[in-house]
Structure 1
Amino acid sequence: MKLRSSIVGILALALIAATGCSGAEESTKATAGGGTTLEKTKINIGTIPVVDTAPLQIAMEKGLFKAEGLDVTLTTLAGGAEAIPKLKSGALDISFGNYVSFFSADAKGVIDLKIVSDGFQSAPKTHTIMVAKDSPIQTMADLKGKVIAVNTKRNIASMLVRAAAKANNFDLDEDKNFVEFPFPEMEGVLKTGKADAAQVVEPFGTFIGQNIGARVIWDTSQGPTADFPIAGFAATSEFVKASPNTVAAFQRAMAKAMALAADRANVVAIIPKYTTIKADAAASLAIGGFPTTLNATRLQRVADTMHEYGLLDETLNVQDLIAAPSSK
């Protein structure tokens, strides 16, 4: 009996020691810069190699995620639409994407999302409507009844164009007035006359103007869509609920990166490192804004505009989709 008791006691002590060691080791591995314990230290973030994601790249280069205890892997997406199924499957923990796609997917019940960080908003010349050099179209009003190329119908591109049309007292129909082409093909679209005009974003606007002399007839960063919220970072509600400290660490790192992106020089310097845009070309690009705070009132503009143009069947309260940033 004594021998059995001794063995049980030794095993119990060994188990306690092993458990204690394991807990201490895990705690050490999962401590954020703010001193909180992270539920998950290794996270996968979806990104797109465009100017809009410059702050994310700055955070990686400057070690801002590491300072928060996060080991981040970036997964390059072909487009924002790819983010939805990858978030839903768990292949991505957080992803960059445009707000129209995020809000639409959530409203339709495709996925239950939370916005965890703002990403990018338009500025003069970042989102424009262009025509060929020799086009008879001179003003936005001349596009009445014409065909405009957009990268995706019933999304942010066509919505911005429709808002521009309404500001000029006419309407455009999603099916009759829009055709879809990827942004890299827009130069050829204008050159060959496959569409009367094209909605383009940087860097394509600058390059198309330089290459074929295409003209800007309307800058969508004015009037009702001036400084318009374009994109941000989202996660599933399930991930946010299960990993609040991890999300807060991501938010702190991104807030610092956004602040650094306010200096144009930092953005211009990082762009050639993750895109095919060369340094001299990066210096000539129009660059939008990188909000440092996640503001529901600002993002509500997107949802309200979507509802106005039939991209949402009912009004959406964006506040319900906001993952409150950490106060630390």
Structure 2
Amino acid sequence: MKKKCDPVIEKSQKTIVPRFLGITGALALSSAVTMITFAPSHADILDVEKDELKLGFIKLTDMAPLAIAYEKGFFEDEGLFVTLEPQANWKVLLDRVITGELDGAHMLAGQPLAATIGYGTKAHIVTPFSMDLNGNAITVSNEVWALMKENIPQENGKPVHPISAEALKPVVETYKDQGKPFNMGMVFPVSTHNYELRYWLAAGGVHPGYYSPEDISGQLQADALLSVTPPPQMPATLEAGTIYGYSVGEPWNQQAVNKGIGVPVITDYEIWQNNPEKVFGLTNEFTVENPNTTLALTKALIRAAKWLDENDNANRPEAVQILSQPEYVGADADVIASSMTGTFEYEKGDKRSVPDFNVFFRHDATYPFYSDAIWYLTQMRRWGQIADHKDDSWYAEVAKSVYQPHIYLKAAEILVEENNAAKTDFPWDTDGYRPATSAFIDGIEYNGRKPNDYIDAQIIGLKANQKITSDGIPQS
């Protein structure tokens, strides 16, 4: 079996970091420490350029492909000796990938795109692998929920879902009339959570605010004031009354239910059915200098994602136990299981079947679609993070510079040859664009080939040719 030493304190970060020993590290220890590696599951492995890797993640259940690739020996099968290291927040994680302190990381899908176009830290970050679909929710405090419920239809004594932000709008207006800003949390300015929260609010007539080159708060003209809170701190911040609601990944919505401090009102599956979530990000330089290592990583992650979804989620209970360990997510197994085993609990006791709340492999979840990248870019443009109009071809070019499906398909091809996957598991004939869809809470159709049409179709938000003035007013 694999040898794993006890967590140690990483002094530079003052956080607990798991140290998973590779061959070199094991040999450097005393002879009392024994290291046994897994035998590869196939005859030939790639001649990797770098076999000892440090990969970063944030303590969320959607880091699962990394944990499973490690625990099930998929990294070792590829000749890779991996250290998985939790990071303090998304900015630290991205910065450490850029500087090379991390070889790659579990990332917000918007991070490689924002870095590549120079929003925030400028760096060419790419992804050959999409980590999951769905997995987020929006939670509000008990006080806000009690007020919202007055505006929500009931059926058999329970709220009718999905719940529109129209039910929140009069609550926000009441707070405003009382001179109280309506504060909400999200995890990072270019996070899925930010854009999903904004999408939900705007669809219900609540303005989430604009960004401008002069004001990066994202609160210009806002009815609800959104700001950054690290995922594990969301429940405590809500309980303290600093924020009245938040958008975050699991297990931090279910944690609010478990602690009795808040109610998840809508999942991202209900905002946009089967929306892309996290990606595995590396610098472009790393993939160029280490092509076989990148392929090997992608192969291992594909196998992990497949394991997570196979046999109708039969492996999820085991995955929950793995993720509950302190070196991964470190939340109670029951809390993680509440959303990862095909259900989702809203109010305490209101547990509903949501079989696709967490998707890791089915629905082509792992393929890096250009159209997924373009959706994120449309939201950056819609809210002013991209200040100037861009034509449709610009969106396509940026997507193709960041998302790397050719690496993914090469990895998939090798897996099929090794009998570690079936040919039918992968979308060989796609051109990188999912079919147009209107599976959004507002019913507006999204076509990744026509990003400006999609931007213009939104009621709240910048239109294609508009810019934000210094006082936050859209102007053509």
**Pairing partner for 2:321 from 240, 256, 269:** 269
CA contact (8 A) 1:119 1:232 kept: yes
CA distance in 2, matches of 1:148, 1:110: 29
How far off its partner does 1:244 sit? 0.6
| SS in structure 1 at match of 2:131 | strand
User: Corresponding residue for 1:122?
Assistant: 134
CA distance in 2, matches of 1:33, 1:64: 14
User: Corresponding residue for 2:383?
Assistant: 309
CA contact (8 A) 1:103 1:303 kept: yes
How far off its partner does 1:33 sit? 6.3
CA distance in 1, matches of 2:275, 2:100: 30
Once the two structures are superposed, the pairs formed by residues 112-261 of structure 1 within 5 Å of their partners are: 112-123=124-135, 126-133=136-143, 135-138=146-149, 140-141=165-166, 142-143=168-169, 144-145=172-173, 147-152=182-187, 154-156=189-191, 157-173=193-209, 174-175=218-219, 176=222, 177-223=225-271, 225-261=272-308
Report the CA distance shift for 1:179/1:246 in structure 2 as closer, same or farther (over 3 A): closer
CA distance in 1, matches of 2:205, 2:43: 53
How far off its partner does 1:183 sit? 3.5
Moved more, 301-310 or 246-255: 301-310
CA distance in 2, matches of 1:190, 1:48: 20
2:86 aligned partner, one-letter code: T
| SS in structure 1 at match of 2:277 | strand
Structure 2 length-normalised TM: 0.57
CA distance in 1, matches of 2:277, 2:401: 19
Report the CA distance shift for 1:184/1:44 in structure 2 as closer, same or farther (over 3 A): closer
**Pairing partner for 1:61 from 71, 87, 104:** 71
Greater fraction helix: 1
CA contact (8 A) 1:229 1:302 kept: no
User: Corresponding residue for 2:444?
Assistant: none
CA contact (8 A) 2:237 2:243 kept: yes
CA distance in 2, matches of 1:88, 1:136: 45
> Deviations along 1:274-316, whole A, 9 cap, x unmatched?
2322333332234522123332233332222322222334453
User: Corresponding residue for 1:7?
Assistant: none
Report the CA distance shift for 1:272/1:215 in structure 2 as closer, same or farther (over 3 A): closer
1:96 aligned partner, one-letter code: H
Higher relative contact order (CA 8 A, sep 6+): 1
CA contact (8 A) 2:110 2:376 kept: yes
Moved more, 276-285 or 60-69: 276-285
CA contact (8 A) 1:128 1:219 kept: yes
CA contact (8 A) 2:258 2:335 kept: no
How far off its partner does 1:57 sit? 0.7
Identity of aligned residues (%): 20
Report the CA distance shift for 1:278/1:308 in structure 2 as closer, same or farther (over 3 A): same
How far off its partner does 1:70 sit? 1.1
CA contact (8 A) 1:133 1:213 kept: no
How far off its partner does 1:181 sit? 3.2
Report the CA distance shift for 1:172/1:43 in structure 2 as closer, same or farther (over 3 A): same
How far off its partner does 1:235 sit? 0.9
| SS in structure 1 at match of 2:147 | coil
* 2:354 aligned with 1:293: no
CA distance in 2, matches of 1:200, 1:251: 26
User: Corresponding residue for 1:5?
Assistant: none
Tell me which structure has the larger Cα radius of gyration: 1
How far off its partner does 1:105 sit? 1.3
CA distance in 1, matches of 2:253, 2:89: 18
CA contact (8 A) 1:128 1:205 kept: yes
**Pairing partner for 1:278 from 319, 332, 335:** 332
**Pairing partner for 1:104 from 114, 117, 125:** 114
CA distance in 2, matches of 1:43, 1:56: 12
How far off its partner does 1:227 sit? 2.1
CA distance in 1, matches of 2:265, 2:384: 25
How far off its partner does 1:115 sit? 0.6
Structure 1 length-normalised TM: 0.80
CA RMSD of aligned residues (A): 2.5
